[in-house]
Amino acid sequence: MGVAEDLDQFEQLLGELIIKYEQYFLGIEKREPLRLYGQVERLSQRFFSGGITNSMQRFRYNCLVARFTTYRQYWTRIVRLIEEGKYSRDRFKMKIHERDKNIGPAQQTELERPVEGEIDRVYQQYLAARTACHLPTEGISPEMIATAIEKQRPLIMERYNCKGVEFRVVIEEGKPKIKARPVS
């Protein structure tokens, strides 16, 4: 193959590798794409010591190698975070992309309902905030928090014309409060 064909193949495989790594980071792919990574690595080293006389092709090669090097550093950092357990996969973005592609009205209402984990998270944060403010926690149940959230959610969604609402606990003037934030 000629230099131009090698550069085309390098660019195509690099694009595929970027997509495969993003799928791996989202949890779609179970394994890191190491075989494809090795192919791209070999192509990046092919003309490293020279061999390209055409300045346009040399420039294209250097740009591709720089792009690969940048992505390689990014991937190494993310893989290290995954191994350390400090990386949370961006399932939220993945769900948004899936929903935009093929969701009917019946499925949308299912996604807009609060997740039990969200209610438990807000409940635990609220109890911790009351404890931190030296306020009593007796008589506060997850059901109370759930009813308060369910009561406010449709009002906020209607008022701000949004698809969802995110709740969090803040302390204002020495008292814990549950704050809502519209999510589009």
Percent of the chain topping pLDDT 90: 32
- Ramachandran assignment for 31, one of left (phi > 0), alpha (psi -120 to 50 degrees), beta (any other): beta
Instruction: Please state, in angstroms and rounded to a whole number, the distance separating the CA atoms of residues 94 and 75.
Output: 18
Q: Report if pTM > 0.75.
A: no
* Lowest-pLDDT range of 2-11, 22-31, 36-45, 67-76: 22-31
Among candidate residues 51, 55, 73, 75, the one with its CA nearest the CA of residue 63 = 55
What's the confidence (pLDDT) of residue 5? 92
pLDDT tens digits along 8-29? 999 999 999 999 999 888 878 8
CA distances from 182 to 112, 152, 158 (A): 12, 11, 10
Rg (CA), the chain: 25
Among candidate residues 26, 181, 9, the one with its CA nearest the CA of residue 97 = 26
